[in-house]
Amino acid sequence: MCCTTGSHHGPQRWGHQHACACGCLGAEYPKPRFMTKKQRIAELEQHLEDLQEQVTAVKEVIADMKKGK
């Protein structure tokens, strides 16, 4: 969750109307309007990698809970 998304920065043509001052939302326009098939595949592969890391972390938490920690 962003720290300061409550302030309104006026009408904008694209993107969010509430800008983040700390940068936790990342770049305002990170993606091109139309992605190529290669770009979509790369994005999905990165998402899959992120999900696999989360699965590993959850499995570690479950293992620790079973050990009684």
The string of pLDDT tens digits covering residues 6-64 is: 555 555 555 555 555 565 555 556 667 788 999 999 999 999 999 999 999 999 999 99
CA distance 26 to 44: 18
Alpha helices by DSSP H, 1-68: 37-67
Short-list 26, 22, 27, CA closest to 3: 22
Number of CB atoms found within 10 A of residue 20's CB:
15
pLDDT of residue 34: 86
